[in-house]
Chain A
């Protein structure tokens, strides 16, 4: 039960240093006074007695320093003694030790498991190039944007290296005659380029200039889907998948760590919005299906981007010359 005495003492020496120091002074002064009294009783004058006592006591400061040393040295010494004592007691009570160790192991295990989950879903930065440059852009208070508004913002913004649009949906995807419901993102053509995600196989969406009229819309599939449905075959690029009665051609396979931008929402296919979605739907400013992600220019502060959008407050919509018209008729 020595720790019951030791613990408060050590705490006191640590947090009430001044008081401990004062007490040390007082203790030694008491001793000095007693010594003087003794000498006076032996017949010295008070003056003589004082000098004699100080001489005999020898360096009060030195004694104090030694007392302080004792307190300090003992921290370390006792610390190791306590550890040894603790280990001895644990060895002496194997039952208690086992239960305690098991409980700790369970507690730590449960916590670290939970942390891994939270870390994976919430804490880890997006697995893309320089995630700190990525910014959500909210043209409307609810964060949504129509594709037409997106194109206007992209054209007018100066502070972003690139801005991408994503609409999240599900898709009943038919591969080789078997249908599977997967999470599907309808994205702007520059989506992968803006995020800095490079396909492990194939390429990202071709620009409209590269694809002739009447060619199949392009789709990028996830690494998981590629493994699951195509067995990771290298000739998967160029194969067709069917969705909503239309064919799309697989142009690339995303890296295995990339599942889209939303945590806990594992995207399996990315459609090129412009080649898949009907032009009318893209041009309709009431179809606010898209979320915008912008990559700031290197070194451009967020405040600059904010300022840009501030002067545009309300404007992104109002400045648009041809509201609610077909996008291809815009000047």
Chain B
């Protein structure tokens, strides 16, 4: 079982941004979604998730808004800001470039 914090630094940020790009989610929802989409490979550690969310919010990539969760409980929903959306595109491109490059090296040698 691999945790995102064990991955390349900054990957958790990328995962969070990508996950809330579709629709606003609360912290729990983000963790669940990353786990489902990655087919249970990526387990987001809550101890890392919340500090990351607060950092991203402080950097104005994402913004938080209190809303109602599925069963009428108050929860903090995170969504992308326009700047965050651009940042995500850029980071995603970087990531793809990087993983493609690593792939090339692994295939040839």
Contacts and interface: CB of A to CB of B under 8 A. Distances in A.
Interface of A: 1-6, 9-10, 23, 26-28, 30-31, 33-35, 56-59, 62-63, 66-67, 69-71, 73-74, 78
B74 A31 contact: no
Contacts of B28: 30-31, 34-35
Contacts, number: 76
Given A30-B26, A31-B28, A78-B59, A67 B50 contact: yes
Contacts of A69: 51
B54 interface: yes
B99 interface: no
B46 A70 contact: no
A5 B81 contact: yes
Contacts of B96: none
Contacts of B57: 9
Q: Which of B53, B59, B74 has the most CB of A within 10 A?
A: B59
B12 to A, nearest CB: 13
B74 A62 contact: no
Interface residues of B, number: 25
A2 B87 CA distance: 11
Interface string B37-60: 000000000110011111101111
Contacts of A23: 66, 76
Contacts of A27: 26-27, 50, 75-76
A247 B38 CA distance: 109
Given A28-B50, A58-B46, A63-B47, A74 B81 contact: no
Contact of B75 (A4, A10, A30, A62): A30
B10 interface: no
B65 to A, nearest CB: 11
A1 B87 CA distance: 13
Contacts of A34: 28
Given A57-B46, A66-B47, A67-B54, A30 B74 contact: yes
A5 B79 CA distance: 12
A70 B51 contact: yes
B47 A59 contact: yes
Contacts of B66: 23
Contacts of B75: 27, 30
Contacts of B69: 30
Contacts of A70: 51-52, 54-55, 58
